[in-house]
Structures are given as C-alpha cells and as structure tokens.
Amino acid sequence: MGLDCIPRRCGCPKHPQLPSFPAEGAVHLPGVPCPFQSEQFPVGPFGTCCSLRGKVAARELQALGESDLSDRMYKDMSAEEALAFAEELRRGADRLEEAHRKDAEKPKGAGWDGTWDPEKNECVWGAYSTFGQALAAVREAARWYSMVGERGFGVRAWY
C-alpha cells in the first residue's frame, strides 16, 4: 500500500487560511514558489510539490520496530497534531540511534525491490536500507511534518 502525506487546510479557527488557498495539496498560493522545493522531499505518484511520499518513512519505521509511529503516518492530522508528531518522530529516531549506537551490526531498514516467491509464500526483498538511511528517512519525515504544521496546515494521509 502506498502513502502520500498531503498538506490540507487545518480547519480550526486558530489556523484560518485565505479562501484562495486550495483545500489540500499546497501550503502556498498558485504562482508562488513552493517553500519545500529546496528540501527535495520525496514525492509520490499522486503527490504535489508540497507533499511527502510517506510510504518511505512509514516502512522504515515498521522495519525498525516502531509500528505505532508507522501506523500514525496513515492518519489525518491537524496542524498541532503534525507539529507534535514531528517531535515524536525526532525522539523515535534519536531513541533508535542511541539504542543501537554500540552495536557492531546495526539493524536493517525496510526491504525494497521485492518479488513474490510462490514457493515460500512470501515477498523476497532484493535490497534493504541501511540503518543510517532508515533514520534519515524518519528525520526527513519529521522535518516535513514540522514545516507543514508551522505554516498552520494539517495533513491528509492518502493511501
């Protein structure tokens, strides 16, 4: 299952957006440069310039045993929830890094390029992310949630 995290109007009186803002998909007006452009967040096939391909971080979190955080990426959020979640993602990445700091062999991240093996009745992964790549994806997602929430926008999880 895919996951695109898309900015949307928060809807609360604390974060009123101009009527000219789209209901979802952007944190800027049409014709104005995207504030996320320099960040180069991964964008999914149905995402917008302001969106995040959340599947990457969600799968990395799942692979590293952070199922609760992974599952929460599939939930819609208000601006306040997005800001709080960004901090939870940062703390989760820090906790994982500290827990495995002295490990000679770090845990693997998510498996990618999978093919179905009918004899084993399971997916066989062609490659795995490194621990460092997995943590980088989680921190990148935290940065995205912060940037969205700081602008007074919530998140729609589209999957």
Domain segments of the chain as ranges:
4-29+39-158
Residue 44 has pLDDT above 90, yes or no: no
What is the pLDDT confidence band of residue 1, given thresholds at 50, 70 and 90? low
C-beta pairs of 109-116 under 8 Å, 24+ apart in sequence:
109/60, 109/63, 109/64, 109/133, 109/134, 109/137, 110/56, 110/59, 110/60, 110/62, 110/63, 110/134, 111/63
Mean pLDDT of 48-65: 96
Radius of gyration of the chain (CA): 17
pTM of the full structure? 0.90
pLDDT of 125: 81
Residue 18 has pLDDT above 70, yes or no: no
Q: Is the pLDDT of residue 157 over 80?
A: yes
CB-based contacts of 81, cutoff 8 Å, min separation 6:
149, 154, 155
Q: Summarize pLDDT for 79-105 with one digit per residue, the tens.
A: 999 999 999 999 999 999 999 999 999
